[in-house]
Amino acid sequence: MGNIDENPRKRFSELLMDAPGGFTAWAFLPRSATIRETHHGRMKGNTPLRLHHLFMAGDSTMPTALATRQSRKQAKAPSRARKQT
């Protein structure tokens, strides 16, 4: 994502962003490796605009958020081994 972050930093004025521009952690999942947000102004009005950016992994071996969530659930779930009779 570092390479992608250069563009908004170079063009923050055009994008109506405060310096230095660039991506910030998403407020709801700040430790997410794949979600970022950018904060922009508007031509009219004072209400800021937040854009959320979802980055998809190009490497198929990188775990997805869904796979990570499912593995956490499985780790927490009690074992349901069948009784041998």
pLDDT digits (tens, 9 = 90+) for 41-81: 888 888 888 888 888 767 666 656 556 666 667 777 666 65
Please state, in angstroms and as integers, the Cα–Cα distance from residue 41 to each residue in 31, 54, 75, following that order: 25, 21, 43
CA distance 5 to 23: 6
- N-terminal to C-terminal alpha carbon distance within the chain: 55
Sheet of 49-54, strands arranged across: 24-25, 35-40, 49-54
Whether pTM > 0.85 for this model: the answer is no
Rounded to 5 degrees, φ, ψ at 81 are -70, 140
